Amino acid sequence: MFQSEALTEIIDTLSKNKLRTALTGFAVAWGIFIFVVLLGMGNGVENAMEEGFGKDAQNKISVSGGTTSEEYKGLQKGRPIHIYNEDAEILEEYFDEVTGYASTYWFGTKTANYKDKNGSYQTNGIGADGLEMENLNLLQGRFINGLDILHNRKVVLLGKTPYEELFDKDEDIEGKYLKIDGSSFLIVGVIEYNNPWENGRLLVPISTAQNIYNSGSDRIHNISLIVDADLSASKKLENKIRGFFGRKYDFRKDDKRALGVQNNIEEYGRAKGVIIAIKLFVMIIGILTLISGITGISNIMLISVKERTKEIGIRKALGARPNSIIKQVIFESVLITSLAGYIGLVLGAVLVEGINYLTKGGDSSAFLNPTVDIKTAIIATVVLIVAGALAGWLPARKAAKIKPIEALRYE
């Protein structure tokens, strides 16, 4: 029969049985609401984790000196292990997996002043390729380069915070000098880190810093290695690095406290696992909620079919074919499910977007952009229609099997 005729007949029936329609709809709307909110939250957690790692390069292994916790070859425990400029160079040459490095020396907090303004900032000596390695955003000027380091140039790269505190808004740093502990450094650029708390830094060439503050020693605090390796290769590399430093500075390779090694590849992998687990969990809960929603519709549809036994009997007596009854019940189910589900979808999206709006700007680390993406919406829509058809199937079959005479007798 004509589809639109069938549709008007169904809409007619539904709109004249408002309470039943509303009750059925509510079950579905609720199911989809929960489904969407959970999926949105899952996305939020994932985004937050991704973002947390995005702030720090994911293919990075950083190495820093520590303190021995075991005796070794007659040497006392509690001995500090220092690392030096050359170590970074050796690591890059020695291990194929290492494709680049950056070394840092932390000089602690220094007083900086520009004109009449001043402030105290963490000051780091930094290797040339270190800046490209991290996810930095250059706001003005340039990075510190190899020549700066080679010639011990007195140049400084400002973090966003000192720039904002010492300079006027949008002031050009070109050719301007910053005094750090009384000596003048040419400002070459302004950078923004992705981690807001890192923005309060001043960066100077590592050689310059070592000359001025460390009386020529080439000691460094930290080496960041850019590594081209998968999880297991990175773990092996980590082990080899420990071995290398252990031989060089006389400590046991397994003495974890002698050398600090942070393997971002491994941590990222672990976090990824957690994300997958969370997503899976959310999916399962979402699906269970949906299933209970479907069972809900199915049950209500069954009751409604039973309640309408007489109506169905009358329709059959007037010449309704079993197919048209099946079609009617399934269409009803799909229609209620789709409409109510859509309402649930929209409400869920509104809630998720609301949370997104509220958590935006804050440093909330648990959620970031908990969005309902188009994929989720499409999945939910398909799930809705299938769910509606599924939920309607059993009641429809039951309705079609009703014998008109029994239906008419039914009170």
Partner 1 sequence: MIKLHNIHKSYHVGKESLHVLKGIDLHIKEGELVSIMGSSGSGKSTLLNLVGLLDNYDEGTYHLDGNLMKNLTENQAAYYRNRFLGFVFQSFNLISFKNAQENVALPLYYQGVKREERNAIALEYLDKVGLKPWAEHMPNELSGGQKQRVAIARALASKPKLILADEPTGALDTTTSYEVMELLKEIHHEGMTVVIVTHEHDIAEMTQKVIHLTDGIIEKITEH
Given a contact cutoff of 8 angstroms between Cβ atoms, the answer to whether 372 and 39 are in contact is: yes
Query: What are the structure tokens assigned to 408, written together?
Result: 């008419």
- Cα–Cα distance list, 147 to 59, 153, 154 (Å): 26, 8, 11
Smallest distance, partner 1 to C-beta of residue 5, A:
6
Which residue, 16 or 73, is less far from partner 1 as judged by CB? 16
- Name the residue nearer to partner 1 (CB basis): 269 or 322: 322
- Whole-number minimum distance, CB 299 to partner 1, in Å? 22
Nearer to partner 1, 86 or 406 (CB): 406
**Pairwise CA distance, residues 52 & 367, whole Å:** 11
Q: Report yes or no: 341 and 309 within 8 Å, Cβ to Cβ.
A: no
We find the least distance from the C-beta atom of residue 295 to partner 1, in angstroms, to be 26
Minimum CB distance to partner 1 smaller for 153 or for 308 = 308
**What is the smallest separation between the CB atom of 404 and partner 1, expressed in angstroms?**
5
* Residue 212 or 325 having the CB closest to partner 1: 325
- The two structure tokens encoding residue 80: 């500090």
- Distance of alpha carbon 286 from alpha carbon 281, whole angstroms: 8
- Whole-number Å distance between alpha carbons of 335 and 353: 26
- How many Cα neighbours within 13 Å face the side chain of 131? 26
Q: Which is nearer to partner 1, 290 or 400 (CB)?
A: 400
Question: CA quadruple 338, 287, 301, 3: dihedral positive or negative?
Answer: positive
Of 247 and 403, nearer to partner 1 (C-beta) is 403
Q: Please name every residue paired with 262 in a beta bridge, in sequence order, or none if there are none.
A: 62
Q: Which is nearer to partner 1, 12 or 174 (CB)?
A: 12
Q: Can you state the angle between helices 231-249 and 264-307, rounded to 10 degrees? A: 150
Provide the minimum distance between the beta carbon of 25 and partner 1 in the complex, in angstroms, as a whole number.
17
> Interface with partner 1 by CB under 8 A: which residues?
1-2, 5, 8-9, 12-13, 16-17, 310-311, 313-324, 400, 403-405, 408
Q: Smaller CB distance to partner 1: residue 8 or 184?
A: 8
Question: Which residues are paired to 187 by β-bridges?
Answer: 156
Q: What is the DSSP string of 110-177?
A: EEEEETTEEEEEEEEEE-TTHHHHS-EEEEEE----HHHHHTT--EEEEEHHHHHHHS-TT---TT-E
Token pair in block for residue 257:
């406290």
The residue (of 92 and 311) whose beta carbon lies closer to partner 1 is: 311
Q: For residue 400, how far is the Cα from the chain centroid?
A: 50
- Taking the least distance from each CB to partner 1, the nearer of 102 and 329 is 329
Q: What is the DSSP letter of 362?
A: S
- Interatomic CA distance for residues 364 and 358, integer angstroms: 10
Burial class (CB in 10 A: 0-12, 13-18, 19+), 65: buried
The whole-angstrom separation of Cα 183 and Cα 214 is 15
- Taking the complex as a whole, the smallest distance from the CB of residue 391 to partner 1 amounts, in Å, to 22
Q: How far apart are CA 399 and CA 228, in angstroms?
A: 64
- Considering the complex, what minimum distance in angstroms separates the CB of residue 311 from partner 1? 6
- Please say whether the beta carbons of 176 and 73 come within 8 A: no
Left (φ > 0), alpha (ψ -120 to 50) or beta: where does 135 sit?
beta
